[in-house]
A and B are shown apart, each in its own frame.
Chain A
Amino acid sequence: MHIKFILKNSLQAIKTNKSRSALTVLGIVIGISSIVLIMSIGRSAESLILREVETLGGAFVQINPGKDAQGPSSMASSLLLDSLKERDVEALKNKNNVPYLKDVTPSLMVPASVSYGSEIYRPTILGWTATWLADLYDIYPEEGNYFTEEDIKSLAPLAVIGQDVKKELFGSANALGKKIKIKNKYFRIVAILPPSGSVSSFMNVDEFIVIPYTVAQKYLLGVDHYQEIHIIAESEELVPQMVKDIELTLRDLHGIDDPKDDDFNVTTQGDIIDTIKLITSVLTVLLTSVAAISLVVGGVGIMNIMLVSVTERTREIGLRKALGATSKNVLHQFLIESIILTIIGGIIGISLGIAFSFLSALVLGRVVGPNWQFVVSIESMFLGLGVAGSVGLIFGYYPARKAARLSPIEALRHE
């Protein structure tokens, strides 16, 4: 039997029961549009996070205490580990140990508020070296100067503040040289940063207060270790070699022979990107699987309606067989009918999914920020169509086989 006539028959059967076909297809439409929407949001989230991570530059490397962080809890507990200390930074600075290191800073984050007179503000307080902002983000003070290596060594209570901090505490008044209070300790403002905005989702420079890391350690946190060590390599290409040098240097210093016993871990941009990709793809797969459940429900709907259709058209099946249709002809006709139904559902679902993705990008763009972009993955469209067709094939097979197996005379006698 010619495929043209099978298609024509199937379309006619669908057209004959327009509202029933539309309702049947609804389940598939919901399933496919959910898949497209979820995959699109997943892609947008991934590209947003990756772009922000990439602003740090490929030459950025971070050392954390403890073994490889395996999850949020181990990340949190790593803050309490004290394996990274001053001697480590000194050893890393030695060109004989790590020749490709361009710059390094210990890093500590102080969870505290800042006040000036009656004004209180909760900024991001970071203990860094003086020039880290200049080296990593190319940001230089708008007023005043960064504190110096001398200031760090002498534990000078000095602070560099961002625009929001200035605005919240001083309004339009002059801030340079004023003393602000963090944890009952006074800090003199030596520099004010230009309006810089977010350098990533996690880092808004305008909310920064940067103080000498030694001061953060001794006066604010009361520790003698670092939470993290941040490093910039001479170039991105030299990062793998530099990581090896860092690991050898720290192992030697910490008396570690077996890499399994490492009490530190080195993370490159590549590692971070891989981890983010893994997390977003796992999340996307998870959510897509949830959406796929609705497709199964839709498929059962298709099967149900095709069974009704077979019962209703039993006489027609008998007639076709009497006129020479083989069981295979009948099987193909009903299979193609259910596949057409699901493909129509798939096409509508993909279109709706793209529309919803676009709307969600508009909304999320307002919530998350302009960096959120509308991304539609081509794979999701092919996946959607493929899945829709397969659902039609799988769930349409049983009714189609039932139709094909009807004996011509029993079918003709059917009332």
Chain B
Amino acid sequence: MSKENHPLILVKDLSKIYDNGEVSTPAVQGVSFAIRKGEFVAIIGASGSGKSTLLHILGFLDKQSSGDYFFEEKAMTDYSEEDLALIRNEKMGFIFQSFNLLKKTTVFDNVRLPLIYSRIKESQWNQLTVEAIEKVGLAHRQNYETAKLSGGERQRVAIARALINQPQIIFADEPTGNLDSHSGRIIMDIIQKLHEDGHTVVLITHEKYTSEMAERIIELKDGQIVSDSRVSQRRFARQGFIK
């Protein structure tokens, strides 16, 4: 098999059980799938279906209880804490539903944040930050504190921050969940463009409409995969689809 055909993500019989000592709650139960480089996958499911838990494990933010997770063919358990932090920094980008921006901090400083933990030379930081901000169309807001921005603008800041290290894969956890439909469409448009630019995207959503903007939908129910199919009629945000 050529290198290109190796999956970026390979999950085998992965489970996550939350155990508080008295009650153990299974969140993800024995899921298996692979995601190739450059794919745009939506993970869909109702609240409590385990989709966020799965995304957190895929993004190295949490650990599975059992099963195997291979990232770039290497088992997650083989990485040290420092390695995991480095991979999160260099190869992964996160977009959260609640934006997770630093308060009382400018757009510029928020977007630059991953760079201060990276191995990229400081002399390149400014240029990379400006480019990422331009990509999401917020150049005119660069020196604004994020608290002064609208929800849609804040999410664009978060996207710029996710992009800045040129990650291989972008994890978006309900990125439009806190936005009105217009802002949501802009965000989804940006995410679709990122995919077109070659980024692998894993999108978590509970909305069917939004999930159909991906190439492939994995549907979860009660922590298990109930379907894994390609989208026959893809929707495009720039055509004004969202609810």
Contact = CB atoms under 8 A, between A and B. Distances in A.
Interface in B91-128: 94, 96, 100, 102-105, 113-114, 116-118, 122
B116 to A, nearest CB: 4
Contacts of B88: 321-324
Instruction: Give the interface size bracket for A toward B.
Output: 20 to 34
A12 B104 CA distance: 9
Interface SS of A by simple majority: helix
A326 B104 contact: no
Contact of B61 (A2, A315, A412): A412
Nearest to B62: A409
14 contacts: A2-B116, A12-B105, A16-B103, A16-B104, A315-B100, A316-B102, A320-B113, A321-B85, A324-B165, A325-B117, A326-B117, A407-B62, A408-B61, A408-B62
Interface in B135-177: 161, 165
A324 B61 contact: no
Contacts of A326: 81-82, 85, 117
Contact of B114 (A2, A324, A407): A324
B61 A5 contact: no
Nearest to A411: B61
B89 interface: yes
A5 B117 CA distance: 10
Interface of A: 1-2, 5, 12, 16, 315-316, 318-327, 329, 407-409, 412
7 nearest A-B residue pairs (beta carbon): A324-B89, A324-B117, A409-B61, A409-B62, A323-B114, A326-B85, A5-B116
A327 B81 contact: yes
Nearest to A328: B82
A11 to B, nearest CB: 12
A3 to B, nearest CB: 11
A326 B56 CA distance: 17
A408 B85 CA distance: 10
B59 interface: yes
Instruction: Give the interface size bracket for B toward A.
Output: 20 to 34
B89 A412 contact: no
B90 interface: yes
A325 B122 CA distance: 16
Contacts of B81: 326-327
A325 B82 CA distance: 9
Given A321-B85, A323-B161, A324-B90, 4 more contacts: A2-B122, A320-B113, A324-B118, A412-B61
Given A16-B104, A325-B85, A412-B100, A1 B116 contact: yes
A320 B62 CA distance: 15
B56 A323 contact: no
Contacts of A2: 116, 122
Contacts of B89: 323-324
B34 interface: no
Contacts of B82: 326
A12 B102 CA distance: 11
Contacts of A16: 103-104
Contacts of A412: 61, 96, 100
B63 to A, nearest CB: 9
A12 B106 CA distance: 12
B46 interface: no
Contacts of B56: 409
Contact of B100 (A12, A319, A325): A319
B75 interface: no
Nearest to A323: B114
Nearest to A9: B116
Contact of A322 (B61, B102, B105, B122): B61
Contacts of A325: 85, 117
B117 A323 contact: yes
Contacts of A5: 116
B226 interface: no
Interface in B199-241: none
Contacts of B103: 16
Nearest to B113: A323
B48 to A, nearest CB: 14
